[in-house]
């Protein structure tokens, strides 16, 4: 006891007191005692045993893992009211766009049978969170929202669907939190499943990315477009051995983050590609442009010999026609270096990046990076169907976590984030008006007005005014002796400090009028 210092003695005394007063306490507060260690809070098993049978098993659990630090799990975080307020705005923009395009909502469980997730993510499968086998099914937390969607379609034999899904996904990545990567994060997906005429749904996906990024006012952006078949065709005509397609593809994807020289070095060195093969690839993947580049490659003597590449280029040509009709080609770039990591893409792929903008007054310079991505995956649903029946799909995912970071940073730099929507505080000017405050606030709530009061019998008037200023409540309804005598409520505007007496019976209407005008 001595060693643990006086705070421990106080805590112990408080617990002992609680034991005496509350017969129920031993099972809750008193089973744990605390001591401070560096960097967190450590919980120790109790120093004294209690009679109840249930407690014994709890103690056994404690013995297995006696000490622990109170924190959120590695790579995860709580989202504060400020962060939640930013998220709500962004979700609203994203969901309203998805709904504008006629998507239906869908939700799937946080975990799936482990087998459902296997063989869908290539190398990244090792990042999947498994649940402990507790004598039931082998389960794992979902890694994205795409595989559960495909599983849903196959399970319910749905051949056609346009859905959106907002939900958390989990990946056991080495978290580099400075880059905004977490082990738990949110995805906002929109997908179109069904047999349709080529490139019509694909074009709509790009239109949606364009609309959302424009609405969020994140600054200049560019949507890179490519097609898996063009990549594969290019690898084939350049002479990449079949078994190296995937590795070379991963190298190609690094162009932009790395110079061509470094990418070439990786291909020739690490992957033992013949230098002339690498150079052939280099000529292609350093090109980007619009419809003109598609036309040019359709005439390319080598590439036009490859059936897959021709199919991809033909579809891209059609896509560009549709994007012209949608009026969004100004921000679309056909980029032969875009490869995308996921295994399941089969056709067109795309990725939107923010272009670096010079930092504005008071703003940190913003990082460049992918803020939306997606593509066509025609084979995934068939993997869950007993007969392999395919349901072609195309979709997109908005990189909301990165967008959240950017918007949070901006809002912190420019203005206070309003976290509650309270419109009026019901306040007392003197003591002993709790009852009147409660009666009035109930009336306001019943009229749909967002109202708060302080949970004290007699809060000081200044404390009540400060609360409004801190939290951004614009109006105060003040009850006082004089007001009660006169049958009025004083309505105060926090910003202008103007006060007007309003007849008690008109106060609800007056507040509603002020709200509707603001």
Q: How far apart are CA 499 and CA 518, in angstroms?
A: 17
Please state, in angstroms and rounded to a whole number, the distance separating the CA atoms of residues 301 and 495.
71
Residue from 91, 326, 411, 510 binding a second copy (CB under 8 A): 326
Other Cβ atoms less than 10 A from the Cβ of 363: the count is: 15
> Candidates 61-69, 279-287, 333-341, 349-357 — which segment interacts with a second copy by CB under 8 A?
61-69
Using CB under 8 A, which residues numbered 116 to 155 contact a second copy?
A: 116, 118-120, 122-123, 125, 129-134, 136-139, 141, 151-152, 154-155
Among 217, 261, 299, 455, binds a second copy (CB under 8 A): 455
Report if residue 343 touches a second copy, rule: CB under 8 A.
Answer: yes
Closest separation in Å from C-beta 263 to a second copy = 20
Binding range to a second copy, per CB under 8 A, among 276-284, 297-305, 324-332, 356-364: 324-332
H-type alpha helices, 135-194: 146-155
492 — alpha (psi -120 to 50), left (phi > 0) or beta?
beta
Contact 216/93 with Cβ under 8 angstroms? Answer: yes
Beta carbon nearer to a second copy, 88 or 262: 88
**466 interacts with a second copy by CB under 8 A:** no
By beta-carbon proximity to a second copy, the closer residue of 203 and 407 is: 203
Which residue's CB is nearer to a second copy, number 199 or number 366?
199
Helical residues (DSSP H) of 303-346, grouped into ranges: 307-326
Indicate whether 181 belongs to the interface with a second copy (CB under 8 A).
no
Among 3, 24, 63, 415, binds a second copy (CB under 8 A): 24
Q: Binding of a second copy at residue 29 (CB under 8 A)?
A: yes
Q: Does 270 bind a second copy (CB under 8 A)?
A: no
Compute the least distance from the CB of residue 489 to a second copy, in Å: 16
Nearer to a second copy, 115 or 220 (CB): 115
Give least dist CB 493 to a second copy, A: 19
Both tokens of 455, joined, read 């949970």
Residue 60 touches a second copy, criterion: CB under 8 A:
no
Rule CB under 8 A: is residue 17 a binding residue for a second copy?
no
* Interface with a second copy (CB under 8 A), residue from 105, 239, 269, 275: 105
**Assigned token pair, 99:** 């709904």
Among 56, 74, 416, 466, binds a second copy (CB under 8 A): 74
195 vs 513 by CB, closer to a second copy: 195
Within positions 392 to 431, which residues make up the interface with a second copy, using CB under 8 A?
419-422
- Decide: 233 and 308 in contact? Cβ < 8 Å: yes
d(CA 22, CA 342): 58
> Which of these, 99, 128, 92, lies nearest to 113 by C-alpha position?
128
Kindly state whether residue 41 participates in binding a second copy, applying the rule CB under 8 A: yes
Task: Considering only residues 204 through 263, tell me which ones interact with a second copy, judged by CB under 8 A.
Answer: 204, 207, 211, 228, 232, 236, 242-243, 245-246
Would you count residue 5 as binding a second copy (CB under 8 A)? no
Tell me the pairing of strands 33-37 and 40-44: antiparallel
Closest alpha carbon to 240 in 209, 276, 210: 276
The length of the chain, given as a count of residues? 518
Structure tokens at 329: 């080609």
Q: Does 302 participate in binding a second copy (rule CB under 8 A)?
A: no
Dihedral sign for Cα atoms in the order 332, 335, 341, 344: positive
Q: Which position among 92, 173, 176, 196 is part of the footprint of a second copy (CB under 8 A)?
A: 196
Q: Which residues contact 189 (CB under 8 A, 6 or more apart)?
A: 144, 145, 146, 149, 164, 165, 166, 395, 396, 397, 398
The number of CA neighbours under 13 Å toward the Cβ of 109 is 10
User: CA-CA distance, 201 to 376, in Å (whole number)?
Assistant: 10
Taking the C-alpha atoms of residue 341 and residue 370, their distance in angstroms, rounded to an integer, is 13
Closer residue to a second copy in complex, CB, 360/509: 509
**What's the CA gap between 456 and 180, in Å, rounded?**
41
Class of residue 42 by CB neighbours under 10 A (exposed 0-12, middle 13-18, buried 19+): middle
140: left (phi over 0), alpha (psi -120 to 50) or beta: beta
Task: Please report, as residue ranges, which positions from 303 to 322 form the binding site for a second copy (by CB under 8 A).
Answer: 308, 322
Question: 3-state DSSP call for residue 461?
Answer: helix
Binding segment for a second copy (CB under 8 A), chosen from 26-34, 251-259, 279-287, 508-516, is 26-34
**Is 54 a residue that touches a second copy (CB under 8 A)?**
yes
If binding is defined by CB under 8 A, does position 194 make contact with a second copy?
Answer: yes
Residue 427 β-bridge partners: 478
The stretch among 77-85, 290-298, 367-375, 505-513 that binds a second copy (CB under 8 A) is 77-85
Nearer to a second copy, 108 or 367 (CB): 108
What's the CA gap between 71 and 444, in Å, rounded? 40
Q: In whole angstroms, how close is the CB of 61 to a second copy at the nearest point?
A: 6
Indicate whether 360 belongs to the interface with a second copy (CB under 8 A): no
Tell me the per-residue interface mask from 484 to 503 with a second copy, x by CB under 8 A, - otherwise. Answer: --------------------
């Amino acid at each position: 006891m001595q060693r643990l210092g006086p705070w421990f003695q106080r805590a112990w005394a408080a617990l002992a007191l609680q034991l005496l007063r509350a017969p129920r306490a031993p099972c809750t507060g008193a089973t744990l005692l605390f001591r401070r260690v560096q960097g967190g809070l450590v919980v120790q098993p109790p120093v004294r045993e209690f009679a109840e049978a249930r407690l014994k098993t709890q103690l056994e659990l404690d013995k297995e893992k006696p000490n622990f630090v109170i924190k959120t799990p590695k790579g995860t975080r709580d989202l504060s009211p400020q962060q939640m307020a930013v998220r709500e705005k962004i979700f609203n923009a994203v969901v309203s766009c998805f709904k504008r395009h006629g998507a239906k909502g869908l939700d799937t469980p946080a975990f799936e049978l482990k087998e459902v997730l296997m063989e869908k993510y290539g190398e990244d499968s090792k990042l999947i969170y498994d649940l402990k086998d507790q004598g039931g099914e082998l389960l794992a937390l979902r890694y994205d929202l795409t595989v559960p969607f495909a599983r849903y379609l196959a399970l319910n034999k749905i051949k056609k669907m346009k859905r959106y899904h907002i939900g958390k996904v989990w990946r056991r990545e080495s978290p580099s939190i400075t880059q905004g990567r977490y082990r738990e994060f949110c995805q906002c997906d929109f997908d179109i499943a069904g047999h349709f005429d080529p490139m019509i749904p694909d074009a709509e996906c790009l239109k949606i990315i364009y609309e959302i990024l424009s609405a969020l006012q994140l600054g200049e952006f560019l949507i890179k477009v490519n097609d898996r078949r063009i990549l594969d065709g290019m690898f084939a005509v350049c002479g990449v051995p079949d078994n190296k397609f995937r590795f070379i593809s991963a190298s190609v994807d690094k162009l932009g983050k790395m110079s061509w020289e470094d990418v070439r070095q990786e291909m020739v060195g690490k992957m033992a590609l013949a230098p002339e093969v690498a150079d052939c690839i280099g000529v292609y993947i350093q090109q980007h442009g619009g419809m003109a580049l598609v036309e040019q490659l359709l005439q390319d003597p080598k590439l036009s010999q490859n059936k897959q590449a021709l199919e991809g280029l033909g579809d891209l040509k059609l896509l560009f026609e549709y994007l012209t009709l949608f009026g969004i080609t100004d921000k679309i770039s056909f980029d032969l270096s875009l490869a995308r990591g996921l295994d399941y893409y089969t056709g067109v792929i795309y990725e939107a990046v923010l272009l670096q903008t010079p930092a504005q007054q008071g703003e940190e310079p913003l990082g460049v990076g992918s803020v939306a991505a997606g593509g066509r995956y025609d084979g995934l649903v068939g993997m869950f169907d007993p007969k392999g029946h395919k349901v072609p799909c195309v979709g997109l995912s908005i990189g909301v976590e990165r967008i959240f970071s950017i918007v949070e940073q901006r809002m912190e730099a420019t203005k206070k984030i309003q976290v509650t929507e309270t419109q009026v505080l019901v306040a007392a000017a003197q003591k002993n008006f709790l009852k009147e405050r409660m009666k009035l606030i109930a009336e306001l709530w019943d009229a749909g007005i967002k109202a708060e009061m302080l949970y004290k019998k007699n809060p000081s008037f200044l404390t009540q005014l400060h609360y409004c200023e801190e939290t951004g409540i614009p109006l105060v309804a003040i009850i006082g002796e004089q007001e009660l005598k006169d049958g009025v409520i004083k309505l105060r505007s926090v910003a202008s400090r103007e006060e007007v007496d309003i007849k008690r019976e008109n106060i609800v209407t007056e507040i509603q009028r002020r709200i509707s005008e603001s």
